Structure 1
């Protein structure tokens, strides 16, 4: 598969996901805050909800499309001794306080499966007592990387709770054949800076948005922008967003739905001014110019009019409630065909007001599950899926997906 993503809404052809496993059951109430969870998740129901979401994806994707389980990819990469050594070396270096150098030989002696279990669950069977926290945030594969055009940004997590995931992703890109043709165009973030994929949104092969959030630092943003511009991007819009848990990434308050249409959380997007800086490639230089609004900047640099659709509708309370449950975090399967949590009813009603046909997951699968979906249909569809357990982890459909291939827009 040729990895390429030149828009947020092109027909989905390849995506990396992780259906929740034992790691979420290892989060207890005492650990949840440290592990960036607001609540504990019941693994059984979360798995079923996630698998149901993937059925919607399968119904919308072509026969050539692929859904990759990231644990399978990690396992395939770890069959290579060099990959295991690369991961172990980085793990020991990045977590000096854990004193993992003491068990370095033991780590090298682990089988690929056992090393992966240690990397994700934090435990080694019959070990000398060393353990790490689990990695329950692996559910949110979006944050591990971002394919932009034919290059890839390797995320570097802002917190120790997710840094191990970054090391796993770097190992995957370096050693798995799926990434063979793109790894030489990988953009790595140096030093103690951080960037996560939820802050990177691809408008076109020339225009990218990057949120400056509590998880993405200004220095990492500029490093990423510089790397993208070397690979063909002309403009990066840096969007300064509130540095708070409820808006941890740009995609928690802003996502693309269809051509010229976005779902937004008004208090953090529409009502903010002078919070956008356009980074523009000018020969060998990058010029920075402030813009008064995201909508105005998008229209200026993308050359089309944009409609912003309110998460939660027009009622203030509903906007806050549904942003909290990821109403603004939708995922496009195709231009104008999006999925999101069914509990965000006011957001779906507002989409209907903007010409979308509402379908629940079962209706969509019944209608299109036997190869009946055509990506060039003019009809706009908003698909709901059940996620009452998944949403406890504070991430929606976009958070749970890492697209690696989309068809270019016409």
Structure 2
């Protein structure tokens, strides 16, 4: 996206008030060299269940992006936005380098030398390094026998860690109304992702004047755990990635900014298979969800509601907490509807478990009753269609190796109100 595109779009409305309003603008990250850093030795640490075939993953992602464009959605790519941000802002360049070059791990001499080099690198090349990382073998200067750190590392070890999970743009930021929330990612392999999204929202011309909904550097919360059930009603999963403290901090922040009146905090199993709330439940229509049947009856929620404010100071408002109660009726009550329609994934336990693992529940709504889903989840997709949902199928054999579906792969920036 060049300067002309920025100028043409700078008046576009950026706001998200639901999961299913017509999707107008979305942030994606096309798989890149960061995935080529994955090996059998590091893929577990970097949160991938396999070694993806990068060229095929790129083809699958291109298909996904084209499906979105074909339905009228503007697709912004994180790599382009990052390069453009660094090109226009010296402060962004310095902050990006500072977050990537860790003097505590590299020692001050090596860290200072590397940071000095990166300050002179062209914007797009620097963006690539910040995303894909750098090994000791790739250092742009000769061996320094006075650096114990350098002498004690293997050449293939990382000086700057790669960020293969950038693919899942849902987690490092999400929008509530006209504001963006910058998250705090729980696991070390993902911690630096928010430093890049933070730069983009802070310095890119497209986001000039955008205000923050929430920022936390202490209590973990990830975008895959946050569902905008309806305007003013937010569900937050608490499990492997989002903590109770993170959910409470988000709720209070949303209440203080009048972005929500009810937050449902939903405990989920702290396992790889159910790392986020959106791995077991996503919205497919204004009154309908697709849900893993194994949790349909057991999923519960604590309901937090905004009460009278005291003094108007941040964090000073009183909240009321009730529950836990069964999630589905609690959600319907908060949304002001009689009942949520539930579409189960799979006709039997084995099929449902297989398709839940392959992100059958992780759909991205392009409009009410229209979703993008991985083609491999045949039974779930058939059940969605039987329930009147239009399913746009995309390949995902390689994209799914990091355990994430179309919703995980996308961060909506603009949706029509319902």
Secondary structure of 1:77's aligned partner: helix
Quote the offset at 1:117 in angstroms: 2.2
**CA RMSD, 1 decimal:** 1.7
Match of 1:290 among 323, 343, 352: 323
Secondary structure of 1:142's aligned partner: coil
Distance 1:98 1:307, change over 3 A: farther
Matched, 1:384 2:380: no
The corresponding residue for 2:303 is 278
Contact kept, 8 Å, 2:32 with 2:132, in 1: the verdict is: no
The corresponding residue for 1:169 is 197
Quote the offset at 1:190 in angstroms: 3.1
Match of 2:243 among 188, 193, 217: 217
The corresponding residue for 1:74 is 82
Secondary structure of 1:141's aligned partner: coil
Instruction: String of CA shifts for 1:247-297, please: whole Å, max 9, x gaps.
Output: 1111011100012110001223x1315x31111000221111114211011
Quote the offset at 1:76 in angstroms: 0.8
Instruction: String of CA shifts for 1:210-259, please: whole Å, max 9, x gaps.
Output: 11121111111111111111222101111110001011111011100012
TM-score computed with the length of structure 2 as normaliser: 0.86
Q: Which runs of 5+ in 2 are unaligned?
A: 1-11, 143-149, 151-157, 310-317
Matched, 1:149 2:177: yes
Contact kept, 8 Å, 1:39 with 1:392, in 2: the verdict is: yes
Contact kept, 8 Å, 2:96 with 2:130, in 1: the verdict is: no
Distance 2:99 2:60 in 1: 34
The corresponding residue for 2:270 is 243
Quote the offset at 1:98 in angstroms: 4.3
Matched, 1:137 2:137: no
The corresponding residue for 1:178 is 206
Distance 1:168 1:406 in 2: 23
Contact kept, 8 Å, 1:241 with 1:247, in 2: the verdict is: yes
Contact kept, 8 Å, 1:351 with 1:382, in 2: the verdict is: yes
Distance 1:252 1:98 in 2: 37
Contact kept, 8 Å, 1:151 with 1:228, in 2: the verdict is: no
The corresponding residue for 2:32 is 21
Matched, 1:308 2:342: yes
> Which structure has the larger Rg?
2
TM superposition outliers: structure 1 runs of 4+ over 6 Å: none
Distance 1:98 1:342 in 2: 44
Quote the offset at 1:53 in angstroms: 1.2
Quote the offset at 1:127 in angstroms: 4.0
Distance 2:97 2:213 in 1: 21
Q: Which runs of 5+ in 1 are unaligned?
A: 357-380
Contact kept, 8 Å, 1:122 with 1:134, in 2: the verdict is: yes
Distance 2:236 2:361 in 1: 16
Quote the offset at 1:344 in angstroms: 0.4
Match of 1:262 among 284, 289, 310: 289
Match of 2:385 among 345, 352, 369: 352
Distance 1:96 1:68 in 2: 35
- Map 1:5-154 onto structure 2 (within 5 A): 5-61=16-72, 65-79=73-87, 80-92=89-101, 96-99=104-107, 101-102=111-112, 103-123=114-134, 126-127=140-141, 131-154=159-182
Contact kept, 8 Å, 1:92 with 1:99, in 2: the verdict is: no
Quote the offset at 1:57 in angstroms: 0.7
Aligned length: 376
Secondary structure of 1:292's aligned partner: strand
Secondary structure of 2:360's aligned partner: coil
Secondary structure of 1:30's aligned partner: coil
Contact kept, 8 Å, 2:172 with 2:223, in 1: the verdict is: yes
